[in-house]
Amino acid sequence: MNSLKFSEIYFTKDAENFPLSKKIFSAFKTARKIPVESPKELYFSPQNAPEKVSQSKKALFLTVKKNNFIEKCPGTKEHLCCNYFVAKNILGCPADCSYCYLQAYLNIRAITVFVNTNDFLRDFEKAATGHTLRIGTGEFSDSLFLDNVIDVNKSLIEICSRTDSLLELKTKSADVTKLLKLNHRGKTVMAWSLNPFSLAKTEEKGTSPPSERISAAAQCSANGYPVAFHFDPLIDFNGWEKAYEELIERLFAEISPKNIAWISLGALRYDPKIKPVIYSRFPDSKILCGEFVRGNDGKDRYLKYTRMKMFSKINGFLKKFDRNMKVYLCMETPEVWKHSFGKLPSDIPRLNSVFTPVPRAHVEKNFRKW
Amino acid sequence: MAIDFPADLKEKIENERISYGAAASIRFLGREDRTAVCEFLEDLRPSASVMKEFSEHILDISKRDGVSAAGIINAPDIKGITAADCSRKIKTEKIRKLLREKRYPSLSAKENELKTVVKQLSLPANISLIYPANFEGKKVSLTIRFENTGELTECLDEINKKRDLLREFLKIL
């Protein structure tokens, strides 16, 4: 993301005087500053007014969150969960990927930034201490796109360097310069979502090209960071096999498998509510033209035979470079796991660090499910 | 917060010619295609939910195949059904099947494969076989309805006789 521009900055009264708010006001001087009494003033229904999703990428909403910055990913019914924890300091993303679930999930017409950074960091440190968790900031936003202004990653990296937990910074940005020399002690995993070059061009607006993401990963790797890659969402299109194979070859031309913390595969899935939003905002996109069927969790997924074929093929492409890489499926059924990988994650010892659940008592005491 | 429909669709919804759910998909089509789909639905007059289903399928097929919605409706296979001398109900059912096959060719092929084996199984009316919707999962349930042990034994014998076909059935899932 080369240059961030926002036309409006909404803020609640209690957020106005936080140092981060002042920094944001000063960084985007031309943006109109609009006080709001309550977030409700910014609510909208993405399905009924998709054009407002586009507007929401050009506005910020500064507010204060009291607690529950860290939540356990709830997983979905009858699908295996990878025990991920999500840090929520930003809700929304300035990039514009056609398939992004946030388009229908978020109902505030601005990117929300919780400006009470110290409370967020306190919550984060509490969560990261005492148990080994994988915590990421890349579920409700991109971990890097806004960091030149928000500037929270260096604190998160520092906190994790003192704990047993792993921070995952998940992004489609290639701007990693300011992170390279930080003292991460191998506790921060720099992660990129990857899709073939042709798809990224049409479906991932406002992001760095995959070749630049891979080069950024190589830079991070050279500076000792473990790196991770998410082939998610995998998209079924004419020529997908060749396109993903080329992408993987390109990846391993620059990255050594031994520096890879994990790789996830996830086929395109969506809440049916997002369909009108995608059709309206991306009229030329064909991503919803595949054969999707409703799963037991209410989400639409490719027919399982398509998913299984994609997972086993891509796993095969990856395993050509290293048989022992930690490759896992995101939100998949036991049946699809067995068919695609021959085993369940519980039967793959190298995935223990990913799939072993955090003790329930610890989760119930410290986290809310989103 | 309602959808802001184009005027032509708004009027059709208000006059109850087109269901709201159908209009929610049709709005993504150009004016000419919208008119064609509305006319098609108004002639057929299916239920609101089937209207919605038809509209979604037409929109998806049109995008996938790069064919106009009018082109889909006016294709010989659909025209053959709409022009036939039969009730609207029969026409609707035939078009429903055809559009679904066009929208989901692999799923339909799998379903047909399964239906063929189920037909070969020709289970008696008091035994029913239920398999997972959309092939998500492999668990099958078999229900036997009986009034006495004699009927139960007959059913179990019948199932036992058809073990090979059942195996074939399970393989498809």
pLDDT single digits (tens) A307-351: 999 999 999 999 999 999 999 999 899 999 999 999 999 999 899
Looking at chain A, the number of H-run helices and the number of E-run strands are 14, 19
Task: Reduce the DSSP state of residue A349 to 3 states and report it.
Answer: helix
Does the pLDDT of residue A362 top 90, yes or no? Answer: no
Q: Which residues are registered as beta bridge partners of A294?
A: A300
A204-205 vs A166-171, strand pairing mode? unpaired
| Model pLDDT, residue A368 | 65
Q: What dihedral do alpha carbons A270, A271, A273, A276 form, nearest 10°?
A: 10
| Model pLDDT, residue A288 | 95
| Mean pLDDT for the stretch of residues A69-98 | 91
Any B CB within 8 A of A126 CB: no
CA A150 to chain centre: 17
DSSP secondary structure code for residue A144 in this structure: T
Does the pLDDT of residue A82 top 90, yes or no? Answer: no
| Model pLDDT, residue A211 | 97
Any B CB within 8 A of A48 CB: yes
| Mean pLDDT for the stretch of residues B101-115 | 95
| Mean pLDDT for the stretch of residues A233-241 | 96
ipTM of the complex: 0.87
Confidence of residue A11 (pLDDT cuts 50, 70, 90): very high
In percent, the amount of chain A with pLDDT more than 90 equals 86
Does the pLDDT of residue A359 top 70, yes or no? Answer: no
CA A336 to chain centre: 23
| Mean pLDDT for the stretch of residues B56-76 | 96
Put simply, the answer to whether A293 touches B136 (Cβ < 8 Å) is: yes
pLDDT single digits (tens) A29-48: 999 999 999 999 999 999 88
- B150-162 as b/e, with b when 16 or more CB fall inside 10 Å? eeeebbeebbeeb
Confidence of residue A295 (pLDDT cuts 50, 70, 90): confident
pTM: 0.92
Put simply, the answer to whether B60 touches A289 (Cβ < 8 Å) is: yes
Distances (CA, A) of A44 to A49, A61, A91: 7, 14, 15
Does the pLDDT of residue A86 top 60, yes or no? Answer: yes
Strand boundaries in A172-299, DSSP class E:
188-193, 204-205, 227-234, 260-267, 269-270, 292-294
The burial of A133, by beta-carbon neighbours within 10 Å (0-12 exposed, 13-18 middle, 19 or more buried), is given as buried
The burial of B101, by beta-carbon neighbours within 10 Å (0-12 exposed, 13-18 middle, 19 or more buried), is given as middle
Selected residues 44-63 of chain B with any CB under 8 Å from a CB in chain A: 59-60, 63
| Model pLDDT, residue A135 | 95
Q: Count Cβ atoms below 10 Å from residue A107 Cβ, excluding itself.
A: 15
| Mean pLDDT for the stretch of residues A189-202 | 97
Q: Which residues are registered as beta bridge partners of A228?
A: A191, A262
Residues of A in contact with B53 (CB under 8 A): none
Does the pLDDT of residue B105 top 60, yes or no? Answer: yes
Quick one: tokens of A220?
A: 């991070």
Confidence of residue A357 (pLDDT cuts 50, 70, 90): low
If we measure between CA atoms, which residue out of A298, A300, A218 comes closest to residue A252?
Answer: A218
If we measure between CA atoms, which residue out of A222, A208, A132 comes closest to residue A174?
Answer: A208
CA A307 to chain centre: 21
pLDDT single digits (tens) B131-171: 998 999 889 999 999 999 999 999 999 999 999 999 999 99
pLDDT single digits (tens) B82-97: 999 999 999 999 999 9
The burial of A117, by beta-carbon neighbours within 10 Å (0-12 exposed, 13-18 middle, 19 or more buried), is given as middle
| Mean pLDDT for the stretch of residues A96-107 | 96
Chains A & B: contacts with CB separation below 8 Å: 60
